[in-house]
Structure 1
Amino acid sequence: MSDAGKDGVPGGLPPRMDRDEITAAIVAARLAKGLTWQKLADEIGRPVVWSTAALLGQHPLPPDAALRVVRLLDLPDEAVPVLAAVPHRGAGGVPTDPTIYRLHEAVQVYGPALKELIHEQFGDGIMSAINFKVDIGTATHDGAAHVVITFDGKFLPYSWPND
């Protein structure tokens, strides 16, 4: 049995670096070393969107993947258990970053239509964001670069007791 305490830190002592500090260190080290998010994703063997989200604090990394990232980016070993801990996901309030705000705006505008179409095509239920994949790509239309984002979530029907 391990003597690891809260968040896997030996003896239950709080880490010297918190998740926000580790995220900032990852971003700084990635830029300083000239590494792409794709290179980091390849290093941990996961899809680039998932890996980037994890390295920005939205998913726990498997401990071996966290150790590979820490070694590659020359971060302190104390970052490993924090990277492997289940994070507090999401952010509160309306986003202020323009790119994130536009994604938020797209869901506000098209969300009700997508909800209606999901119900019409699948029935009463939701698209899972847990059993879920997301990918990013590019396309060109009329000579202009376009961003292509694909959400692929399992349909989860609502079920009620005695149904």
Structure 2
Amino acid sequence: MLTLALALMVPFSVLAQGAQVAFGGMKQDTSAPVEVTADQLSVNQADGTALYTGNVVIGQGEMRLAAPQVLVVYAEAAGRIDRLEATGGVTLVNGTDAAEAERADYSIDAGTIVMTGNVLLTQGDNALTSELMTVNLDDGTAQMSGRVKSVLQQPQTSVNP
């Protein structure tokens, strides 16, 4: 019984300091084309940005990101996206995993998405919350930090009378 109690305590002590979890179950091809759909688009040639607003959905490979507003920042090299800044309540879906947060910053070259503000990650019936989650698209993992809380569903076992 003591062994079971200790085994159950280990994941929660790790989660209190920060947790590394799988995200999306697959590597993401960050060189794949980025497709953006939205209700409106405003382009600013002076600072090299494009602001998409209204029902914004971004797709790249199997990954989908949705938000009310996304600022696309282009690199010095013409036409190449440097980063995406999604705000106003963001949903990120990759494979069977989904995450929600107030903001997400996607660095294309680094292959990372940093989600901040009331992050909620769902994986099947399990849920994790934190203040910050960094998704590494190159290896399909995520690091959560800032008061991490987990709700892990236990498999149902049948009891024979």
Normalising by the residue count of structure 2, what TM-score does the alignment of the two structures yield?
A: 0.20
Relative contact order higher in (CA < 8 Å, ≥ 6 apart): 2
More helix by share: 1
More strand by share: 2
Normalising by the residue count of structure 1, what TM-score does the alignment of the two structures yield?
A: 0.19
